[in-house]
Amino acid sequence: MFRIVFYQPEIPPNTGNAIRLAANTGCELHLVEPLGFSLESKYVRRAGLDYHDLAHLRVHPDLETALRALAPERVYAFTTSATRRYTDVAYEKGDVLLFGPESVGLPEHVQRHPAVTDRLRLPMLPASRSINLTNTASIAVYEAWRQHGFAGAR
């Protein structure tokens, strides 16, 4: 399946929701430290409900460690500054979908990292600043999964 990476996430309920997303789609969820919260936070647990044991979750101490663990897969960095749309990609199993912290998005040095295959964006109205982190990840995951006929789904 696909791999979701949250680089330095800040808001516990978003990560809890991403745990549910991973559990329900068969994706792996990778978190890159530092996290803006403890994974034991009641907000993470509440948003993730009883899906924590069903999700494949890994925490990495830094971006380089995460990218080594995910290599050699393609890495797509999601950012509002990209020009290519997320629907313009033919996703492959194992692709990495990389998202930045809620308050600032992916830093430029992460977007331009040599391991990043391409930068992608979701279309929005011009006056909009961003879409919620887990909503964005969900949209991207479901597009990638749709392209594979929702393999494994009931």
Binding site: which residues? 100, 122, 130
SS3 118: strand
Q: Which residues are annotated as a binding site for S-adenosyl-L-methionine?
A: 100, 122, 130
Distance of CA 97 to the CA centre of its chain: 5
E strands of the chain, at which residues?
A: 3-7, 28-32, 56-60, 75-78, 84-85, 96-99, 118-121
Amino acid making up residue 100 = G
* Closest alpha carbon to 112 in 149, 145, 63: 63
